[in-house]
Structure 1
Amino acid sequence: MKIDARSTARTLAEIGKWRGVLLYGDDLGLIRERAAQCVRQIADSLDDPFRVALLDQEQHGRVEEEVGALSLIGGRRVVWVRDAQDALLPRVTSALAIDSDTVLVIEAPGLASRAKLRSALEAHPKIASIGCYPEEGRTLIASLSDLFRDASVAVDREALFWLSSVLGADRAAVRSEVEKLVLYAGEGGKLSLDDVQDCIGDSANATLDDATTAAMAGDRAVADIALERALADGLSPIALARACLSLMTRLQRVLDWMDEGKSRQEAIKLLKPPVFFKKMDSFTKALERWDGAGLRRACEAVQGFELACKQTGCPDLALSRRLIAQLCLGPRSFLR
């Protein structure tokens, strides 16, 4: 059964009511985090050898065997399957036919929307099918707030906005930075904007936001440095595409409001979340360089880049560098 975003948290909290969960999408960090959450709920641990069977791609042939096995110490078992693709469907179908209370947790990063595995499990009434995509804007701010609240750390609103503007979209990277800040603040502590900036330090310069904002503003030197640092930190080219599209959408909104008669300053102030003050100059330069037609062409190119990066054997790092170079050149580089 396909689970919408509003019901995801409740479904994950009640995963014991399901035979299994399929976690697909482009954010591997979020997929892994949600899979671990499900496993802990059922088995109380991620590495209990009696209650948790972790199957990598080479071990997919054991799915039916593990689903039918009993725990030697009692309690429900979890079969945690990673790197699932369509080839796994016959084994999952056979496993679900077994009379067992074992829960299947299936990670399927990059699974296509028309994939047979996804279609079949979305139609299964006892399988929760959940998309895991990079968070941005209000969704990212809400997730950051939840992470800090769970750690009993208070954060100023300005600090949250700044974090949402500089952190990458990958969930694992976001959680890593939050854990660093939580350790800095201590339980019951409070973080100001200055605290967050001091703690994050130069890592903010390695974010996708720096690369995309500088590229759209035509600042090739800053964009290239930011991209290379992000690549060194394990940047996902898919996340780069999403960051580009997010920024282009915000620029288009401002242009639309300006067409309605608002001044540039008034239009920028309408954006939620607001433009971080240190990014204001770059954002304004981008508005001066791009018009609606140019943004539409660039969006189409970014969508094509994302599709290409999902193909097996694609030189995605080279394509990432080429995309940033094109954005630095401006609208003319996307003329047909």
Structure 2
Amino acid sequence: MKVSARDADARVRTPDPAIKAYLIYGPDRGLAHERAGTLVKSILPDPDDPFALTLLTEEDLKSDPAALADAMVAMSLTGGQRLVRVRLSGETGGGPVADVISEIESGSLAPQTVLVVESGDLTPRGKLRKAFEPAKKALSIACYADDARSLGNLAEDLLKDEGLSIASDARMLWLPRLEGDRALARGEIDKLILYKGLRGQRAEGDDTVTLEDVEAIAADQGEAQMDAVIEPALLGRLAEADKAYVRSVSAGGSPVAILRALQRRLDQIGVVQGSGGDDAALARSGAPRFGPQADAFKRQVSLWRGRRLDHARQLAFQAERDVKRSGSPAEALVSELLIRLARGAAQASR
């Protein structure tokens, strides 16, 4: 069954026990990831219990197509509800998922385990949507970019939780900057809340987000915006990188500044590899060593090595030469470079 956009959040917050499989997909990967996480927490009393939750990737399904079916019939060692969460980038790995949905619908598989599949954008003719949408025991939830109204509601709810409100002029300036990806938007909202201070940390009466607060936060976002472009490009997430690039340039960001930041990142990757690739090498390069940023950087290091890294550096150098030529369109040249690198990373990760 397909779920309407209006009902999607309610469905993941209060799941129907009769539904045994969920497909949460769409171009807004941040929103898909957030809804999948909410659903897991709604179903499992302890989402961190390794005996209750099995995580599978498309690489797992490619190397062992039977892994999903085996996980679906496995019993929890501690008893209680089990859940299998599968993360895909698209249709790759969708065959085993479609087979499991067919078995659930026919009654040949009656698992106590719930299946949650998280994916990027999918076409209506693809095997995943064709398996989920007609099914009576499965739900398909599409995740598209938030509009100004839904972003406004999200921001106001999160601000309200910390006893904050936002002035109308600040709201008008700030909300358009959040459009694009739910994860990025939530990160910007959290950043603003931390800037103002959590409930009980602020001075008395300082409970309204002002235009000055929004502008102060915006002044510190240049590096974060560039990283939002560079990271997905070097990890092969083409659509995400392109969206972030357009968003950055539309907000006044410099294509040349993005190019220079990309060159610094490639040099940083080279330093890490040339120094042995261990934690000491990460420290010497100035790369992040902990948290999601460190994990993303390590994936970049694993993808860009040897001749591939050398070629990327050459492309970046050539792009800078072309940009410096009279009349060369910097925005288009940098965009083309990011596309080439994202495609290269996507091929390398297969």
| TM-score normalized with structure 2 length | 0.59
Instruction: State the match for 2:302 in structure 1.
Output: none
Check the 8 A contact 2:12/2:36 in 1, yes or no: no
- Report the CA distance between 1:206 and its aligned residue: 6.7
1:192-231 correspondence to structure 2 within 5 Å: 192-203=210-221, 231=229
- Report the CA distance between 1:80 and its aligned residue: 0.4
Check the 8 A contact 1:121/1:127 in 2, yes or no: yes
- Secondary structure of residue in 1 paired with 2:119: strand
Instruction: State the match for 1:3 in structure 2.
Output: 3
State the distance in 2 between where 1:38 and 1:150 align: 21
Relative distance call for 1:92 and 1:154 in structure 2 (3 A) is same
Relative distance call for 1:6 and 1:118 in structure 2 (3 A) is same
Relative distance call for 1:90 and 1:101 in structure 2 (3 A) is same
- Report the CA distance between 1:11 and its aligned residue: 1.1
Q: Which runs of 5+ in 1 are unaligned?
A: 208-227, 247-277, 280-316, 327-336
1:82 to 81, 87, 90: 87
Q: Superposition RMSD on alpha carbons, in Å?
A: 3.7
Relative distance call for 1:133 and 1:324 in structure 2 (3 A) is farther
Relative distance call for 1:205 and 1:70 in structure 2 (3 A) is closer
Q: Write out per-residue CA displacement over residues 287-322 of structure 1, whole angstroms, 9 at most, x where no aligned residue.
A: xxxxxxxxxxxxxxxxxxxxxxxxxxxxxx99xx98
Instruction: State the match for 1:180 in structure 2.
Output: 191
- Report the CA distance between 1:186 and its aligned residue: 0.9
Instruction: State the match for 2:342 in structure 1.
Output: none
State the distance in 1 between where 2:208 and 2:16 align: 35
Q: Write out per-residue CA displacement over residues 183-206 of structure 1, whole angstroms, 9 at most, x where no aligned residue.
A: 223126432221122134231697
Instruction: State the match for 1:166 in structure 2.
Output: 177
Instruction: Point out the structure with the larger helix share.
Output: 1
Relative distance call for 1:237 and 1:194 in structure 2 (3 A) is farther
Instruction: State the match for 1:20 in structure 2.
Output: 21
Check the 8 A contact 1:36/1:46 in 2, yes or no: no
* AA of the residue aligned to 1:63: L
1:241-252 correspondence to structure 2 within 5 Å: none
Instruction: State the match for 2:154 in structure 1.
Output: 143
- Report the CA distance between 1:78 and its aligned residue: 0.9
* AA of the residue aligned to 1:52: L
- Report the CA distance between 1:240 and its aligned residue: 7.5
Check the 8 A contact 1:134/1:242 in 2, yes or no: no
- Secondary structure of residue in 2 paired with 1:5: coil
State the distance in 1 between where 2:127 and 2:39 align: 23
- Report the CA distance between 1:10 and its aligned residue: 1.6
- Secondary structure of residue in 1 paired with 2:220: helix
Check the 8 A contact 1:67/1:79 in 2, yes or no: yes
Instruction: State the match for 1:110 in structure 2.
Output: 121
Q: Which runs of 5+ in 2 are unaligned?
A: 201-206, 253-314, 317-322, 324-328, 334-350
Which shifted more, 119-128 or 162-171?
Answer: 162-171
- Secondary structure of residue in 1 paired with 2:140: strand
